[in-house]
Amino acid sequence: MQTTDLHAHLLAYDYQSDRVSDRMGLSRLSSLIRTARAEMPNCLLLDTGDLLQGNALGDLHATPGLAIHEATHPMITALNHLGYDAATPGNHDFDRGIAYLMRNLDQAAFPMLCANVARALGATPCADDTLLPPSTILSRRVKDRDGHWHILRIGLIGLLPPQIDIWDKPHLDGVLQTRDMVETARAHVPRLRDAGAHLVVILCHSGIVAEGGPGGSENAALALAALPGVDAILCGHQHERFPGPSFAGIAGVDIGAGTLHGTPAVMAGFWGSHLGVIDLTLTPRDDGWQVSGHHVSLRPICRQDRAGAPQRALVADDPAMVALARTAHDRTLAHIRRPVGHVSKAVHSFFALVADDPSIQLVAEAQRARVAELLHGTESAHLPLLSAVAPFKAGGPAGPDHFTNVPAGPLRVRNLADLYLFPNRLCAVQVTGAAVSDWLEHAAGQFNRITQGRQDQMLRDPAVPSYNFDVICGLRYVIDPSQPARFAPDGRLTNPEARRVRDITWNGQPVAPADRFIVATNSYRASGGGGFAAAVQMRPIALDGAAPYTTETILEVLANYVARCGLVIPITQPVWRFASSPGTSVLFDSAPAAVDTLHELTGLSIERAGTAPEGFARFRLHM
């Protein structure tokens, strides 16, 4: 059994909207786990990372000075209670630093494994001084169909994306190093076999993409599954479901059989949406056991009966889990309901991927104002100051409720988390005009290539996350999706002559390649996260003494900005627009509630175009 990408969703509760949600919660999965164990006593329960961070409950536990900061993490307590057999961390588990991570993992009553993150790299992966044990062999006494008992030795390896050295550079730089996942597993799988493992299962916080890219891939599950000696693979990171239609058509992937290169594999959604199950049939052979059959399935906690219908819960909360979480939950509710300021009108991200957006611009202004304070009196203070922000909540795999939607009135802590989702730190980088152009070009890879004169083309490329669509406030520019994308999603320059972004101006003047700017941004982007390391040349600027990163999170910056303002009056400044293309229309999906806000848009021709899968509303934009 697999869980993955729980992101601190212990209960079926959405802290940003402050209401129960049937789409999430380990407390719901607990009921499915109990049922599965009753069906099959020979079973393991494993997690593949992104466990500790991702909502207000996780953030509260990680914040110094709060009453529960030193207590056992509620997610670790829950996994101990459920009797997990092993787990591997994910990239976001490093977001609060190594000391915080290790303090929590040390309290796990099960092995935490990671083979490709090391304090020091050796001559081979097996010689690395790893942060956590790279692998383990679990010995389990199991009963066969004839009632006979056997000892089964299951080898487990933990892996995560090596890109954490970019994404969490403020925490990891000079402290930890990473290796390619495939290189690492290729060394450890035969070592486990030589140590007597009858089976080898890879726990990888990594997703499924077509093979053929460069080494060090962020999503390497397909290549890992092809390694000799691997019997099953547990995937994650992408917030997708496997087996599932999202991976149809990829060479080596069989969504009917649930295999990658013939190896059974599963990816159990996110936030506790599904329990992943791989059933392996084992037959004896001279040197142990052989996998002679398999069945892969996903068990959901909720279901949508028809397009446009709400999700319906399929299982109830496990009362024991609810009781276990009560103290942490109550403290989290008290925290998120604390008022910080007021906002004069509603702020949402329903149209953040097609138009200038007030939710983005509010965060951008908070970033800009704080960086201006920190740069005052420095040699960089004379340079034009811009601010880059992307929409974190813009639908996607998280569903039609995954949009920022802050009502007019009191701004509470939960509303600020709705505006900015991650614990990234405030940063500033110096860039040239040429780098600004490449920054915007890489962001514009969000869109499919559109054919002029055609109707109802899907606008977004679902493989590119919305958090890579940086909008750089302080500029004016035009995006033309009829042109090919200049960069691949990983930042590789694939079309050197291509330009989607044009007419870039600052203060009414065209931006020249040699112009210099300061851009307020976050630590993920300043470290090159999202493929920007390859695409954009940027130089971090010291804001906090000599350090290239501040200790302030964007959420803290936003909270201080709101508190100073008292009353926030959102104003949508013109920043970007799509190039005009008469006779051309595109389709995009947003929240059903977006229909009631169409009147707020000016200068755009957008209309309702029916319903879309997973409960989204579909809209048509005339270019």
Q: Is the dihedral of CA 350, 355, 359, 364 positive or negative?
A: positive
CA distance 90 to 49: 4
Position 533 scores a pLDDT of: 87
pLDDT band at 551 (very low <50, low <70, confident <90, very high): confident
Quote the CA–CA distance of 199 and 264 in Å, as a whole number: 12
List alpha helices for 444-548, DSSP H.
523-526, 532-535
Count of residues making up the chain = 623
Contact 447, 587 (CB under 8 A): no
Give the mean pLDDT of 234-247: 95
Give the pLDDT score at 154. Answer: 97
pLDDT value, residue 285? 87
Strand 263-268 relative to strand 259-260: parallel, antiparallel, unpaired?
antiparallel
Residue 66 has pLDDT above 80, yes or no: no
| Model pLDDT, residue 69 | 55
- In the beta sheet, which residues pair with residue 544? 547
Mean pLDDT along residues 588-616: 93
| Closest among 522, 534, 539, 537 to 170, alpha carbons compared | 522
User: Is residue 260 very low, low, confident or very high in pLDDT (cuts 50, 70, 90)?
Assistant: very high
- Architecture of the domain made up of 338-622: Alpha-Beta Complex (3.90)
Q: Tokens 């006779």: give the residue.
A: 583
Predicted local distance difference test score (pLDDT) of residue 213 = 58
Q: Are 158 and 132 in contact (CB under 8 A)?
A: yes
**Distance between CA atoms of 89 and 70, rounded to whole angstroms?**
20
Measured CA to CA, the distance from residue 211 to residue 226 in angstroms comes to 11
Written as six digits, the tokens of 188 are 């450890």
**Distance between CA atoms of residues 188 and 194, nearest Å:** 10
402, β-bridge pairs: none
Q: Identify the pLDDT of residue 214.
A: 55
User: If pLDDT is split at 50, 70 and 90, which confidence band does 217 have?
Assistant: confident
pLDDT(67) > 80: no
- DSSP, collapsed to helix, strand or coil, labels residue 335 as helix
Per-residue model confidence as pLDDT tens digits over 311-330: 789 999 999 999 999 999 99
pLDDT of residue 39: 93
pLDDT above 80 for 540: yes
- pLDDT in the model for residue 281: 96
Q: How many CB atoms within 10 Å of residue 190?
A: 15
| Residues 432-464 pLDDT 10s | 999 999 999 999 999 999 999 999 999 999 889
3-state secondary structure labels for all residues of 94-123: HCCCHHHHHHHHCCCCCCECCCCEEEECCC
Domain ranges (residues) in the chain: 2-274+288-329, 338-622
* pLDDT at site 5: 98
Distance CA 601, CA 94 (A): 39
Report which of residues 2 and 551 the model is more confident about.
2
pLDDT at 183 over 70: yes
Q: What is the mean pLDDT of the chain?
A: 94
- For residue 71, what pLDDT band results from cuts at 50, 70 and 90? confident
For residues 398-414, give the mean pLDDT: 94
Q: Which residue has the higher pLDDT, 319 or 552?
A: 319
Handedness of CA 469, 470, 471, 477 (dihedral sign): negative
Q: What is d(CA 393, CA 590) in angstroms, rounded to the nearest whole number?
A: 11
Cβ-contact 591, 395 below 8 angstroms: yes
522 within 8 A of 467, measured Cβ to Cβ: no
Helix H or strand E encompassing 292: strand 288-300
Query: For residue 223, what are its two tokens?
Result: 């290549």
Residue the block writes with tokens 């190594």: 98
What is residue 516's DSSP assignment? Answer: E
From CA 605, how far away is CA 621, in angstroms rounded? 6
DSSP H stretches of helix in 390-500: 413-419, 433-443
Query: Within 13 Å, how many C-alpha atoms sit on residue 127's CB side?
Result: 4
- Report the alpha-carbon distance of residue 309 to residue 321 in Å, rounded: 29
By C-alpha distance, which of 258, 240, 329, 293 is closest to 9? 329
The burial of 3, by beta-carbon neighbours within 10 Å (0-12 exposed, 13-18 middle, 19 or more buried), is given as buried
**Region of poorest pLDDT, from 123-132, 272-281, 376-385, 474-483:** 376-385
User: Binning pLDDT at 50, 70 and 90, where does residue 252 land?
Assistant: very high
Stretch 223-245: mean pLDDT, rounded?
A: 96
pLDDT reading at 64 higher than 90: no
pLDDT for 287 equals 79
Cα 371-375-379 angle, rounded to 5 deg: 145
The pLDDT value given to residue 41: 87
Per DSSP (E only), the strands in 92-245 are 117-120, 129-130, 135-143, 149-159, 177-178, 199-204, 232-235, 241-242
Q: What is the DSSP string of 443-472?
A: HGGGBPPPPTT-SSEE-B-TTS-GGG--EE
Round to whole Å and give the CA distance between 211 and 491: 17
Percent with pLDDT over 70 in the chain: 97
Q: Is the pLDDT of residue 215 over 60?
A: no
Model pLDDT, residue 484: 97
What distance in Å separates the CA atoms of residue 115 and residue 129, rounded to the nearest whole number? 9
Pairwise CA distance, residues 212 & 46, whole Å: 29
| The pLDDT value given to residue 512 | 98
Does this model's pTM top 0.85? My answer is yes
From 596, 589, 581, select the one nearest 612 (Cα to Cα).
Answer: 589
Give mean pLDDT, residues 242-271: 96
Of 3.90.1570.10, 3.40.50.1220, 3.20.20.70, 3.60.21.10, which CATH number belongs to 2-274+288-329? 3.60.21.10
Nearest-5° Cα angle at 127, 121 to 130: 60
The CA-based angle 315-317-322, given to 5 degrees, is 170
Residue 583, sorted as left (phi over 0), alpha (psi -120 to 50) or beta, turns out to be left
Instruction: Give the integer Cα–Cα distance in Å for 518 and 432.
Output: 9
Q: What is the mean pLDDT of residues 539-567?
A: 87
Among 307-311, 559-563, 590-594, 608-612, name the one with the lowest average pLDDT: 307-311
Q: pLDDT tens, 105-125?
A: 999 999 999 999 999 999 999
Residue 306 has pLDDT above 90, yes or no: no
Whether 373 shows a pLDDT value over 60: the answer reads yes
Separation CA 86–CA 233 (nearest Å)? 14
Residue 243 has pLDDT above 80, yes or no: yes
